[in-house]
Amino acid sequence: MNLIVASNPNLGVKEYKIYGSKIPTEQEAFPQIYTMNIFAKNEIVARSKFLKQLRIKHKIKASATVILRCEENKEDYSNMSVQNYGIKFVYRSKNGTLLNMYKEFRAISRCDAVDSLFNDMASKHKVKKSEIFIVSINQLEKNDLLRQRVAEFAEEGVQYPIFKKELAVTKDLVVKGTKLFD
C-alpha cells in the first residue's frame, strides 16, 4: 500500500519563517532584520508570537515594528517515515518561573513533533501552548537519542504485541424472536 500525503490538515500547528525589523527612522535608516521560525496554528498567531519574542528579547515594541515577510515552511510528507526529533524549549510554569526543558519525540515531521510536545506538556505539566517558547528543534540519529522511552522504538525490527484479535461480543443481547420464558 503506497500512501502519499500532500499536506496534513489535521495538525494543530504549522511552521512559519517570519522576517521583521524596526520601522526605519532618520537616526537608523537601515535597521537590523530579525528572523525567527515560529510554530503556530495560523499566520496571525505566528505574527503575534514573533512580535512578542521581539519585545522580550530585543525590547522592540510592536508599534515600532514592521513585518517584512511571513512564509509557511511546507514539509514533504511523501516519504512518510518516522524520524527522531529533539526539542529544546523554555516554558513558564504555573508559579511564573521560566524553566528550560529538553524532550525527544518520534514523528513524521517537525510540526507533528511540536504538536506532540504541546500535547505532552499540556497533559503532564498543565502548560498552555502560549507559555512554551521553542529554542531549537533538531533531527536526531539513533545514536544521539538520550531518552530511553524514545530510543527503544528507534531500533530495527521493533514488534508490537496484539493482545486480542477478536472483537468482544457481549452476551447480554438476545436475538429478536427468542422465547426466554415459556
83-151: same fold as 14-73? yes
Closest CA to 68 of 38, 39, 47: 47
Kindly state the cell numbers that stand for 71.
512564509
Q: Specify the pLDDT at position 148.
A: 87
Q: Specify the pLDDT at position 1.
A: 47
Q: What is the CA radius of gyration of the chain?
A: 24
Kindly state the cell numbers that stand for 175.
436475538
Domain boundaries, the chain: 14-73, 83-151
What dihedral angle (degrees, nearest 10) is formed by the CA atoms of 80, 83, 86, 87?
Answer: 0
Closest CA to 56 of 107, 130, 148: 130
Tens digits of per-residue pLDDT, 135-155? 999 999 999 999 988 888 888
On whether the CB atoms of residues 33 and 21 are closer than 8 A, the answer is yes
Q: Rounded to an integer, what distance in angstroms lies between the CA atom of residue 118 and that of residue 41?
A: 12
CATH class of 14-73: alpha beta
Q: What is the DSSP letter of 156?
A: T
Q: Specify the pLDDT at position 49.
A: 94
Q: Specify the pLDDT at position 152.
A: 87
Q: Specify the pLDDT at position 9.
A: 53
CATH for 83-151 is 3.10.20.10
Which stretches of the chain drop beneath a pLDDT of 70? 1-11, 169-171, 180, 182
Q: Rounded to an integer, what distance in angstroms lies between the CA atom of residue 13 and that of residue 144?
A: 26
Contacts 24+ apart (CB under 8 A), 27-32: none
Residue 56 has φ and ψ, to the nearest 5°, of: -75, -50
